[in-house]
Structure 1
Amino acid sequence: MQSVFDQGACAPCPASFNLAAYVLAPAATRPDKLALAILGAGQAERWTFARLEAAVRGTATGLLAQGLAPGDLVVLRLGNTVDFPIADLGAIAAGLVPVPTSAQLTAPEVARMIASLRPAAILHAPGVACPQTPCPVISTSALRAMRDLVPAPYAMGDPDRLAYVVFTSGTSGRPRAVAHAHRAIWARRMMHHGWYGLGGDDRLMHAGAFNWTFTLGTGLMDPWSVGATALIPATGIAPHQLPGLMQQHEVTLFAAAPGVYRKILQAHPRIDLPHLRHGLAAGEKLSATIREGWRKATGGGAIHEAFGMSECSTFISASPASPAAPGALGAPQQGRRVALLAGDGTPVPLGAVGTIAVHASDPGLMLGYLNAPEDTAARYSGDWFVTGDLGTMDASGQITYQGRADDMMNAGGYRVSPIEVEAALADLPGITEIGVTEVEVKTDARLIVAFYTGPQALPDDMLHQAAATRLARYKQPRAFLHVSDLPRNPNGKLQRRALGALWEAHIVRQA
């Protein structure tokens, strides 16, 4: 049998649609319900659905009054505050096209983005890096004043029209501008059952910053769209403080990158969360060590993992209704069509490694890379969008992640996934984190090297012996290097390509 999951399409998006109108629809029926609370150590800033929608639609009025027109691109250079989602949804409500960006980007990085986009305006907060530009700049004080303006009507239209643009993280090359349609939010309905188990009575806490797209979608827009409450830790709240906030505010769902779970577990061997049903993880591979540590610390709590990307929000996941098989990510969500492809674009047999691909008809798939039709076309193989990530599928549709195609290592003619090696060694005593890659030790000679963090360097013979007991010979690292930190991008993802520089620096020190 072939590695193809296809159990029917999801319901079509309405013909007249606006992303912001869909997200804030509960304001009409539950105006006084708490939509958002920003949780500080001693107090919380609270927003009802009515107040939130008024601020969003007032912002839409104010942006249009600035001379902006539907279809104009607007770059968001805003901090970790509620200004970010209000401005983002306000632009979409008006028919503008927001471009949310990470506050951690440097001015030169933003300058390159601005040059490629040619936006009509930049929404800018003090202290967030932004280059000098002739482009009109709108301050946060001006944005906040817009919230009290007469609400603008939602700009309704074709769900396939451009709604927003996000940039890829750059882990697979230069960052690209990814264009998404208004229908992208409708596609996320498949995640409600297929990942979250989300309902209107939930209180979902996301540990990320407002200006991270993972937070914007999973932490805010998805719960709002069903009338649930979103809870966001205030700036300055550390991971070890999160369990206390979860207990105090009766959190039912908790979403975070795996690294946040790890930091919580380092501080709390036991965690009492009587209201929490389960956790949600995405952004990078969730290790078995963290999953099991969370289960033990919480007395049986599960973490459900999801796989997605900038070009298509999470479409493979585990859920309360369909837990992941041991070692697997989960399965494609109902309504998705997913395949694992060979190099020639045909599906591989069940159990074989193939490239994860999502069908071109998926409503959550990007419109394309902005102003880059050739780059867009290069990502397709026939009717499939090819992700560049590898996996295997079993007969039930469960997919086990095997790493990035360009992360795959070659050992004596065997392809080796760094994910597999990392998972095999991550729970060794004295290892906090581990990253594995292939490095060139001399011309045409490459070895698998493991980089790890921990209180101190561990004996090499112990590490090699442990690897020998857990991994086939061709999968075992030939060297282990203790480092202070592993390289990560602003979203916390491990950058395996940067591990080679650590090896080179080590060789220089040894010379």
Structure 2
Amino acid sequence: MTWHVTMPTESYERAREAFEWDLPDDYNAAHDLVGKHDDPDRPALYQAFPDGRRETFTFADLDRRSNRLANALAELGVGRGDRVGVVLPQVQANPITHLACWKLGAISMPLSVLFGPDGLGYRLDDSGATVAVVDGNNYETVDAAREDCPALEHVLEVDWHGRGYHDSATPFEPLVQDANPIFDPVDTDPDTPGVIMYTSGSTGQPKGVLHSQSVWVGHCPAFEMYFGLDLSETVCWTPADWAWIGALGDLLFPAWHYGRPVVGYPMEGFDPETAFELLAEFDVTSSFLPPTAIRMMMNTDADAYDLSLEAICSGGEPLTSEILEWADDELDGVAVNELYGQTEANLLVCNCDEWFPAVPGSMGKPVPGHDIGVVDPDTGEEVAVGEVGEIAVERGDDPVIFEEYWNQPEKTAEATVGSWHLTGDLGERDADGRLWFKSRDDDLIITSGYRVGPGEVEDAILEHPKIEQVGVVGISDEMRGEIIKAFCQPVSGVEGNELLAESVRSLVRESLAKHEYPREIEFVDELPTTTTGKIRRTDLREREE
């Protein structure tokens, strides 16, 4: 039977007052997304490739293929609670793997194709993943990390390029084709662990954020708001990596919850002309576009494309008035609705053109189903209107709030005060109920929509034999919001020059991730430190102001 989140749409106030989370006791994410629809032969995924190939997968196709993969994974020993890494771009094998895991009661783990061996190796080892599903571009990266991941028993390779498989890989497609298309999912409920997504904090190694299978349902009220409340003709696309909650939770899985099709395209680096071509070819009505992507598209002639676009949602940094004006002028009044969330608790606040117009710089108002406060992080008491506090969300039965940091109970406890989950973001609420982002309360860097922990970048740079000490901060950038800057202290006798700087950049790109390398490097004789020897990042940021 078809089931979906229902939200009164006659007014924002009515939706807030009447909304209730009412999930089935036997909730399973895979059944919700691809198995429940009254018309299973509707298109679910328009798969496009850079070489011009096009494929269409229906909800029934995805259901059967994930059944086959669930049977295949079970034969490999994957069962309830086991972790499976997914290192794939926007190809159908990516969501198929998640769906198969949830049918098995296993935990899927989206991982970016941008990660190098250190970045992937840490996450696969920390999670204890037993299987990784990768494509040919990333197979050697995962294989290089394998010796440091004792639990990793199987690496399945997806050959979407048509180049063939590595000799030591387990081919994905034959495994799926040879498996039984019938699978009886294990018993699950809304609280069954479903997915681990890694996020970087301001210090130390990345943290694994564990969510239940119902996390995607938690995104649905906001999905309705920023894409216009009426989803009957919606076609969705985002250029965002399907490893991030901003792509999976803001667009892909909510669209499938409502039975709406999504376009997939494995884009290697954002290209604004390709973006416009995809929007036009597939009559996309609704798109999640990070602010950096929008700024790049603003330099392209939108009038050259026959667009069906009706709404854009965007987040990661405050939207400027220039973006809203461009969409209004060049895209014939397309609404751009800002949203706010984080890996631990996503889509808490957004704008809705149908209910209240976006105001430049404001994140919007709390989404129905999420109780948001601006609080004193020490006491949990809400601060007065117009005062700055920490943005927080009432835990209650809210399905978007994470369960725990994987194997880090002390970090989980630190993110809670009373009944509030603390986001780590500072903001204020105005008299109209709008929320305004002020800053992080730590050193996290937000660049092109990615959240980057400086500690991980610093650890990677310190692997360079010619660097003695380093401090990493974010500095303002017109295109990307922030860029990563590293203040490097070379070892004694080594000259800091452009050759060394490029060597440092290459090290980070290759070992950590392509989006985490420092675009700017400044060599210094000495770094400011506390009395205990810690780098004073505040002092480094002040140098740039």
Shorter-chain TM-score tier? 0.7 to 0.9
Maintained 8 Å contact 2:194/2:212: yes
For 2:370, the aligned partner's letter is R
Are 1:243 and 2:253 counterparts?
no
Maintained 8 Å contact 1:61/1:146: no
Match of 1:342 in 2: 376
> More deviation in 262-271 or 11-20?
262-271
Match of 1:265 in 2: 298
1:33-432 residue pairs with structure 2 within 5 A?
Answer: 33-40=42-49, 42-128=52-138, 129-130=141-142, 131-133=145-147, 134=150, 135-140=152-157, 142-148=171-177, 149-150=179-180, 151-170=182-201, 174-197=205-228, 199-236=231-268, 238-268=271-301, 270=303, 273-322=306-355, 323-344=357-378, 345-361=380-396, 362-406=398-442
- Residue 336 of structure 1 deviates from its aligned partner by 1.0
CA pair 235-439 structure 1, distance change in 2 beyond 3 A: closer
For 2:134, the aligned partner's letter is H
Q: CA separation in 2, counterparts of 1:383 and 1:178?
A: 19
Maintained 8 Å contact 1:38/1:232: yes
For 2:312, the aligned partner's letter is G
Note the alpha carbon deviations across 1:142-182, whole angstroms, 9 max, x for none.
43234332221222323112111110144665310000011
Note the alpha carbon deviations across 1:306-359, whole angstroms, 9 max, x for none.
111110121111123233234311111011100001243211101111110011
Q: CA separation in 1, counterparts of 2:87 and 2:412?
A: 26
Q: CA separation in 2, counterparts of 1:437 and 1:74?
A: 31
CA pair 437-98 structure 1, distance change in 2 beyond 3 A: closer
Secondary structure of 1:10's partner? Answer: coil
Secondary structure of 1:165's partner? Answer: strand
Maintained 8 Å contact 2:47/2:55: yes
CA pair 249-280 structure 1, distance change in 2 beyond 3 A: same
CA pair 233-75 structure 1, distance change in 2 beyond 3 A: closer
- Residue 289 of structure 1 deviates from its aligned partner by 2.4
CA pair 346-87 structure 1, distance change in 2 beyond 3 A: same
Are 1:17 and 2:27 counterparts?
yes
Structure 1, unpaired ranges of 5+: 409-424, 441-483
Maintained 8 Å contact 1:194/1:334: no
Q: CA separation in 1, counterparts of 2:485 and 2:81?
A: 45
For 1:89, the aligned partner's letter is L
> More deviation in 245-254 or 186-195?
186-195
TM-score (norm 1): 0.77
Maintained 8 Å contact 2:377/2:417: no
Tell me the percent identity: 23
Maintained 8 Å contact 2:114/2:515: no
Maintained 8 Å contact 2:114/2:514: no
Maintained 8 Å contact 1:168/1:310: yes
For 2:157, the aligned partner's letter is T
Secondary structure of 2:298's partner? Answer: helix
For 1:332, the aligned partner's letter is P
- Residue 122 of structure 1 deviates from its aligned partner by 2.3
CA pair 341-183 structure 1, distance change in 2 beyond 3 A: same
For 2:210, the aligned partner's letter is A
Match of 1:446 in 2: none
Maintained 8 Å contact 1:240/1:263: no
Maintained 8 Å contact 1:317/1:331: yes
What is the total number of aligned residue pairs between the two structures?
435
CA pair 330-272 structure 1, distance change in 2 beyond 3 A: farther
CA pair 248-103 structure 1, distance change in 2 beyond 3 A: closer
- Residue 277 of structure 1 deviates from its aligned partner by 1.0
Q: CA separation in 1, counterparts of 2:273 and 2:526?
A: 37
